[in-house]
Structure 1
Amino acid sequence: MSLKSAPPNFGQALRAVRLQRGLSQEDFDEVSGRTYMSRLENQGAVPSILKVAQLAQTMDVHPLTLLTLSFCEKGSASEVNKLLAVVSEEIASFTNLRLGARERRRSV
């Protein structure tokens, strides 16, 4: 499976999880207006990573759940497992990954 095989559909994932949780668009008023929620769900807007985290918190899911489902067609367990295996392999392939470390400027 390639992460580049299909464009992500965040709106589809957002709507599916929202409905699964039994939430209305109005339930997101503290983090987003109903109009913006509609735009997100209909691919008319692209959320920031902070907005993804706020939306996920409202639905009581991890932000990676929304992002993972954005790259799935059906969201089946096997599809999700394949995608997460690819991501896990990619992360494992990074050597000397220094999250949080500032890059030092090299003097010329």
Structure 2
Amino acid sequence: METKERFGKALRLVRLQRSLSQEAFALVSSRTFVSMLERGKTSPTLEKLEELCSVLGVHPATLVALTYLPDGRDKERSGRELLQIISRELQQLLEGMPDD
């Protein structure tokens, strides 16, 4: 599955779990654009991702993480493994950053 399709699937999952219609995004996006995102026809800019997530009530990193969550039966285990990878990588990157 292509990344845009995976993102669309994640967006739709969160939207439905929050009991939101596509029209609920009217202040930040058109229903047509949300539909295109959910069908994997396009992808959002970082700014648009942030706006969409403000409507969904989730951090943008949460939606991105859902996009990259491996397919499989044990989603809880897959989620923990993905979070461990992200945590380890962030820690390594932050350790290498110079102090301001």
Q: TM-score range by the shorter chain?
A: 0.7 to 0.9
| Residue of structure 2 in register with 1:10 after alignment | 7
1:76 shift after superposition? 2.3
| Contiguous gaps of at least 5 residues in structure 1 | 1-5, 102-108
2:47 aligns to what SS in structure 1? helix
Structure 1 Cα separation of the partners of residues 58 and 78 of structure 2? 19
Cα pair 1:7 1:71 within 8 Å, conserved: no
Return the index of the structure with the highest Cα Rg: 1
| Residue of structure 1 in register with 2:21 after alignment | 24
| Contiguous gaps of at least 5 residues in structure 2 | none
TM-score w.r.t. structure 1 length? 0.78
| Residue of structure 1 in register with 2:96 after alignment | 96
Q: Would you say 1:65 and 2:88 are equivalent positions?
A: no
| Residue of structure 2 in register with 1:49 after alignment | 46
1:25 shift after superposition? 0.3
The percentage of counterpart residues that share the same residue type is 37
Tell me the C-alpha RMSD between the 2 structures. Answer: 2.1
1:17 shift after superposition? 0.2
Structure 2 Cα separation of the partners of residues 61 and 80 of structure 1? 16
Higher helix share: 2
Structure 1 Cα separation of the partners of residues 82 and 46 of structure 2? 20
Q: Would you say 1:79 and 2:78 are equivalent positions?
A: yes
Aligned residue pairs, count: 95
